[in-house]
Structure 1
Amino acid sequence: MGNSIVMSQTKQVEAFLEQTVQTISHYLNETTLTGLLKEQEDGKRTYNELLLSNLRRLVVYCEEGLEACRVVLNDEPFRKAAAEKILYRIYHSCITEFFAPKNDVWYEDSRSAYTGRNSIKFREVPPPSFQALIASLEGPFQTIREELEFYETDYRTKMIQSK
């Protein structure tokens, strides 16, 4: 893959991560556990704590990926191999964490993709604001996942060939 294509993808991922970090950070800065519990009549404290914990983990991964994109994009000359490695890591940390978070508080129902519905399903009923946030993030995450899937197979192939 040419340098210009990898650079373009890195810029696309940088813009995606910048927007994602902004959206999640705003939500986390404006939301409290008490506020989430008030959104539901029978809100479960432990489940809501896990939701917020996973969201904080996701934003940290996205911030790290954003910083890595910025570093590689500012390097002169552009280092294609470094960018590819970063895109691979972003795929495995940010994208994977979104679709399959730790503690399995939500998961991806791959069958939903065929129906045009949101594919993220929650183990328990989440607060409406949290559900709306995840729904708003799902489309952009899906788009970037499709863009970066190449790095998953390409990186593994390179690792196998180098042995």
Structure 2
Amino acid sequence: MGNVIVKVQTEQVRDFLKGALSELEHFLNETTITSLLEETSGEREYFRDLLSNFRRLAVFCEEGREACDVVLNSDPFRKSAAEKVLYKIFHQCIEEFFNPRNDVWFEDSRSAYTGKNSIKFRGTVPQSIIELITNLEGKFQSIREELEYYETDYRTKMIHTK
């Protein structure tokens, strides 16, 4: 029974990553620093850092999706391998979304109580970036809640095997 639950979660995470990657790639393929500066005045370096973080997140999402495919296509399905992949996705994708490198945005944890978006930007950003983050935030939050179990469970297993 446990294998079925983990397999279904792995499929859900793969599908989530596929969708998130599609949105990120579309944005990145259509956006340049110049187009962001035309959309709103801001700091060129800050926009460069934002795009860099989106590219990094896209790479992590693609790697995670590929890892899910490998685990899901293995016969027989290996629960332990899937749990390790889900743990890695939690850290590389989900945590990267909410705590990006260079602190270009941050999560305001108090927003969870108000029902508002929790991602706050360090600087002024164009509407296109606000829309991208708004579209992704709820999806990332939902998957984070699903995968938090693996964070705790995996650490517990590592402590007990030492």
- In which range does the TM-score fall when normalised by the shorter chain? over 0.9
**TM-score normalised by length of structure 1:** 0.98
- Cα distance per residue 1:118-143 (max 9 Å; x no partner): 00000011111011100110000000
Distance in 2, matches of 1:5 and 1:125, equals 42
Residue 14 of structure 2 corresponds to 14
Give 5+ residue unaligned stretches, structure 1.
none
Residue 121 of structure 1 corresponds to 120
Question: 1:54 aligned to 2:53?
Answer: yes
Aligned length: 162
**Offset at 1:10?**
0.0
Residue 27 of structure 1 corresponds to 27
Aligned runs of 1:40-79 on 2, under 5 Å? 40=40, 42-79=41-78
AA at the equivalent of 1:97: E
Distance in 1, matches of 2:118 and 2:6, equals 28
**Offset at 1:162?**
0.4
- Cα distance per residue 1:32-91 (max 9 Å; x no partner): 110001011x32100000000000000000000000000000000000000000000000
How well do the aligned residues superpose, as a CA RMSD in angstroms?
Answer: 0.7
Structure 1 residue ranges (4+ consecutive) displaced by more than 3 angstroms after TM superposition: none
Distance in 2, matches of 1:115 and 1:8, equals 31
Residue 106 of structure 2 corresponds to 107
**Sequence identity of aligned pairs in percent?**
65
Give 5+ residue unaligned stretches, structure 2.
none
